[in-house]
Amino acid sequence: MTRFADIDLANLPAPEAVETLDADAIAAERIAELATRLAAIGVPFDTGGLDSEPLAVVEQAGAFAETLLRGRVNDAVRAVLLATATGTDLDQLGAFLGVARLVLTPVDDTATPPTEAVLESDTAFRRRIQLAPEALSVAGPEGAYLALALGTSDAEGALLVKSAAVHSVDASFEAAPAGYRVVDAADALAELLAASADEWIIDDGAGAAPDRFRLPAGHVHVIILSAAGDGAADADLVAAVRAKLSASEVRPIGDFLHVVAASIEPYAIDVTLTVGPGADRSAVATLAEARLAAFADRQHAVGAEVTQAMLAAVASVAGTDGLPVAARIAITSPAADVLPGPFAAPFASSIAVTVEVSDD
């Protein structure tokens, strides 16, 4: 059992220290408190439901200021949490662990007009901060392999690996990954002694149904997804990550290391939302597309899944009242859940959102 837990920060519950603020409720509480205090000294006070009552106006102004102050406290709480910190607040958290934001493209004062520096995104930087403690170890633990693989960059400092996964003998799989040679369990020892350099996996089922597959003892497989395009890692990137993880001061001498490009499973997103006649179809489509694009980018990772239920939930746009705008959501594509498996990654090749007005 591994100590490392790869926590999905996006799915953490909201911290209790962050309040849900309601300016109207705060104003009502302040007016009620004022009435109680005045009654205690024998002064009757009743606004009669009128917002124009002078003391009520004073309390409403105080409630507005209090809401701003408590909102600032909420922002301060978020600024010190890895899951929610952004910008320079995130830079401070990174500095605490000795991790600096990468400069992908330096500032160019010689250009006309001068160009600003392009910095590493908050999402990528947050991921590296999360894995920073793991990198203090050699690449034996799963988290250390992940941290070092994700830190692979080019000469200009641009990160080359978007996602990675680490598999070894303690995991079993329902299917053999694409490109792997399957070896019966009875022949595994001879294969180990041969020390072949290609990727192979052991069929523990020996032809039984369902088969279970496992990696050979001592073999560590790091599956990588490129930060470019659809994520297919070319031979140069695989070699660069292998070289980084194989350094004598990094890789334990007992590990037989494999760096493998993740298989890419492309899919298209085609969603139709049916809304009422009062909805702004263009605004709904724009918001749904943005939400789906962010979701697709997040799920573009090794071992991630894209289900129709997830797509429907993401495409559901809320109105100003917090309720869903769409009465119906139809997922035309993908026609079924996209389940690439632990050695592959889904990639959204296109996103289309159609908004129709209900005739009901």
Per-residue pLDDT of the chain (360 residues; tens, 9 = 90+): 355 567 888 888 889 999 999 999 999 899 889 889 998 998 888 876 777 788 889 999 999 999 999 999 999 999 999 999 999 999 999 998 888 888 777 788 888 888 888 888 898 889 889 888 877 766 567 888 888 898 888 877 778 899 999 988 777 788 888 888 888 877 777 777 776 667 778 777 655 555 688 888 888 899 999 999 999 999 999 999 999 888 877 777 778 888 999 999 999 999 999 988 878 889 999 999 999 999 999 999 999 999 999 999 999 988 877 778 888 999 999 999 999 999 999 999 999 999 998 876
Q: How far apart are the first and last CA of the chain?
A: 56
Cβ-proximal residues to 211 (8 Å cutoff; 6+ apart), any chain: 174, 175, 203, 204, 205
Residues 146 and 223 sit within 8 Å (Cβ to Cβ): no
Residue 349 backbone dihedrals phi, psi, to 5 degrees: -80, -25
Cα 209 from Cα 356, distance rounded (Å): 46
What's the pLDDT tens digit per position in 238-253? 999 999 888 877 777 7
Count of Cβ atoms closer than 10 Å to residue 7 Cβ: 11
CA proximity to 199, closest of 174, 184, 220 = 220
Q: Any idea what DSSP says for residue 134?
A: G
Determine the distance from the C-alpha atom of residue 48 to the mean position of all C-alpha atoms in its chain, rounded to a whole number.
51
Cβ-proximal residues to 118 (8 Å cutoff; 6+ apart), any chain: 103, 104, 105
Count of Cβ atoms closer than 10 Å to residue 259 Cβ: 25
DSSP letter string, 253-301: TT-EEEEEEPEEEEEEEEEEEEE-TTS-HHHHHHHHHHHHHHHHHHH-S
Cα 102 from Cα 84, distance rounded (Å): 19
Residues 4 and 64 sit within 8 Å (Cβ to Cβ): no
Strand, helix or coil at 342?
coil
CB-neighbour burial class of residue 308 (10 A; exposed 0-12, middle 13-18, buried 19+): middle
Q: What is the mean pLDDT of the chain?
A: 86
